[in-house]
Amino acid sequence: IIGRAQWERVVEQLRRDGDPALPRRSYEEFKATALPIIQEAGAASEQAFDAALAADPLRPGTLMRRAFTHDAGTPEGRAQRLEDLRRARDLAPFAPSITLSYGQALLEENQTRQAIRALQRLAANPHGGEAAEEARGIIAEAEALQASSPPAP
């Protein structure tokens, strides 16, 4: 659910912000103690979201929330996360939070072209506010990754 890279990003952001809640444990300590509790709660949440979606499969917000219960440490969990976010975005193409979550998830899977494509409409919206700014930031990150990657054969 929470990988080392994500842990390090959060700790670095807290450090930059001077946050007193800065974790005093290493990732290994977190993984051994707190992560099992989080995973257990995530499994229960996933079951609850599954039941909600069985009753009404056309709820984009429920799909988006369920996406974050999948185990991001496994290829299957990441694929399920992307699929839930894609379905949520297809059901609610103008919901900025869903679009941003989907674009970020694509970027985290190094699917830079797809991330850019998913975020372009939101990024181009002159009235998109913070969501449009965030979309432009994710697009810039995706473009930088593309520029630093060797061309595909």
pLDDT along the chain (153 residues), means of 10: 65 72 67 66 78 88 87 87 95 93 93 96 94 94 90 59
In order of 53, 58, 63, the CA distances from 91 in angstroms are 13, 7, 10
Is the entire prediction scored with pTM above 0.95? no
What is the helix (H) or strand (E) element at residue 80, kind and residue range? helix 75-91
Q: With residue 147 as reference, give the H or E element that holds it.
A: helix 129-148
Q: Which residues are CB-neighbours of 89 under 8 A, at least 6 positions away?
A: 60, 95, 98, 99, 102, 118
Q: Could you write out the DSSP letters of every residue in 83-115? A: HHHHHHHHH-TT-HHHHHHHHHHHHHTT-HHHH
Residue 144 contacts by C-beta under 8 Å, 6 or more apart in sequence? none
Provide the pLDDT for residue 125: 94
What is the per-residue pLDDT for 10? Answer: 73
